[in-house]
């Protein structure tokens, strides 16, 4: 009998290392105003109010000066860091070296990019404080579309679009201020299930055949983003213009180093300082759905 031959069966171990499903690139950085590298612990967003003309009814009269509002908002930079260790004694025991193979750094870069998106998304909806700390700017009720027990409906999308038009923030004058709409998987399901949105030939081809809502339609460029706010089943996302949020970074670096203080292990790390702030509430619409 050869029943014992199974004792000598071998296992073919994988000689590759693959990243699990995750968002790897920053999707929101391209949707905001990038201020580049910031020298300092924070940066300001300076705003100038609008003025109206006065009718001149007095010939050769004295000059009457107008008033104009100057404001400055403060955006602090916050520091982020992540390191992954690999004991040198473990490397000869592995078929795949995630340090020299780059998988550790790829994972960290993906984490960095998601963190940038989270910083930007929070800046879209969160309050922002003036440079002197005396004024807090928050989204007014006129810029908020409540869930109202419904999903992301056609009516809500149209309402958001009309708010931008009413605020003169939809870029119709060719100033390049593009509008963006963030959607998650629930919003995708609700949009694709709405026949009033997918009945047109173009929308049928765009949405149903491709199975997505990406691209530009109804005046928005649609950006997939799964980390919208979710409180008790109510999702909160946002639509905004490119100039609505300013983003900046300070120190940023990725390293692979030998750590003599940790028995010469290899450390793969990434770190950076990031900040974002809302420039104008009129350029943001908060939308909730469930």
Q: Which residues contact 197 (CB under 8 A, 6 or more apart)?
A: 154, 191, 203, 207
Q: In this predicted model, what pLDDT tens digit does every residue of 241-262 receive, in sequence order?
A: 999 999 999 999 999 999 999 9
Q: In this predicted model, what pLDDT tens digit does every residue of 113-133 receive, in sequence order?
A: 999 999 999 999 999 999 999
Q: Which residues contact 100 (CB under 8 A, 6 or more apart)?
A: none
The Cα 76–Cα 57 span in angstroms is 48
Quick check: 202 pLDDT over 80?
no
pLDDT value of position 207: 62
The Cα 120–Cα 232 span in angstroms is 23
Give the CATH number of domain 29-47+72-289: 3.90.1690.10
β partners of residue 266: 86, 258
CB 289 within 8 A of CB 151: yes
The pTM of this model reads 0.92
pLDDT value of position 129: 98
Determine how β-strand 234-241 pairs with β-strand 179-183.
antiparallel
68 three-state secondary structure: coil
pLDDT value of position 9: 84
pLDDT bin (cut points 50, 70, 90) of residue 215 is confident
- The structural domains of the chain, with segments of one domain joined by +, span 29-47+72-289
Residue-wise over 38-60: b if at least 16 C-beta within 10 A, else e? Answer: beeeebebeeeeeeeeeeeeeee
pLDDT value of position 267: 95
Quick check: 210 pLDDT over 80?
no
Quick check: 201 pLDDT over 90?
no
- The average confidence (pLDDT) of the chain is 92
Query: Tokens 């963030």 label which residue?
Result: 182
Mean pLDDT across 48-52: 96
The Cα 134–Cα 66 span in angstroms is 24
Q: In this predicted model, what pLDDT tens digit does every residue of 1-20 receive, in sequence order?
A: 578 888 878 888 887 888 89
Question: 97-101, 203-207, 223-227, 286-290: which range is least confident on average?
Answer: 203-207
CA dihedral 133, 138, 220, 276 (to 10 degrees): 30
The Cα 273–Cα 284 span in angstroms is 25
pLDDT bin (cut points 50, 70, 90) of residue 90 is confident
Q: In this predicted model, what pLDDT tens digit does every residue of 34-45 receive, in sequence order?
A: 999 999 999 999
β partners of residue 47: 71
pLDDT value of position 4: 87
Task: Provide the percentage of residues in the chain whose pLDDT is more than 70.
Answer: 93
Quick check: 200 pLDDT over 90?
no
The Cα 171–Cα 173 span in angstroms is 5
pLDDT bin (cut points 50, 70, 90) of residue 282 is very high
Greatest mean pLDDT range, 161-170, 171-180, 208-217: 161-170
Mean pLDDT across 93-113: 92
The length of the chain is: 290
């Amino acid at each position: 009998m050869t029943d014992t031959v199974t004792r000598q069966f071998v296992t073919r171990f994988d000689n590759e290392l693959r990243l699990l499903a995750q968002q790897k690139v920053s999707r929101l950085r391209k949707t905001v105003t990038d201020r580049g590298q910031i020298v300092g612990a924070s940066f300001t967003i300076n705003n100038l109010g609008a003025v109206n003309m006065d009718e001149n009814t007095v010939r050769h009269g004295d000059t009457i000066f107008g008033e104009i509002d100057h404001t400055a908002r403060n955006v602090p930079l916050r520091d982020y860091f992540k390191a992954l260790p690999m004991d040198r004694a473990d490397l000869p025991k592995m078929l795949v070296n995630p340090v020299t193979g780059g998988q550790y750094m790829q994972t960290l870069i993906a984490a960095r990019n998601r963190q940038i998106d989270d910083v930007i998304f929070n800046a879209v909806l969160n309050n922002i404080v003036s440079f002197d700390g005396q004024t807090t700017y928050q989204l007014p009720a006129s810029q908020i579309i409540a869930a109202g027990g419904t999903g992301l409906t056609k009516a809500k999308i149209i309402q958001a679009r009309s708010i931008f038009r009413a605020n003169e923030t939809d870029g119709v004058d060719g100033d390049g201020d593009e509008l963006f709409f963030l959607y998650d998987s629930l919003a995708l399901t609700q949009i694709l299930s709405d026949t009033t949105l997918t009945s047109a030939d173009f929308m049928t081809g765009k949405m149903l055949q491709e199975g997505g809502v990406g691209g530009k339609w109804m005046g928005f460029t649609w950006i997939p983003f799964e980390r919208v706010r979710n409180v008790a089943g109510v999702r909160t996302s946002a639509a905004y213009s490119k100039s609505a949020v300013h983003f900046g970074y300070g120190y940023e670096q990725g390293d692979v180093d030998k750590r003599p203080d940790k028995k010469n292990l290899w450390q793969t790390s990434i770190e950076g300082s990031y900040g974002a702030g809302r420039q104008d509430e009129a350029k943001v619409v908060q939308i909730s759905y469930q």
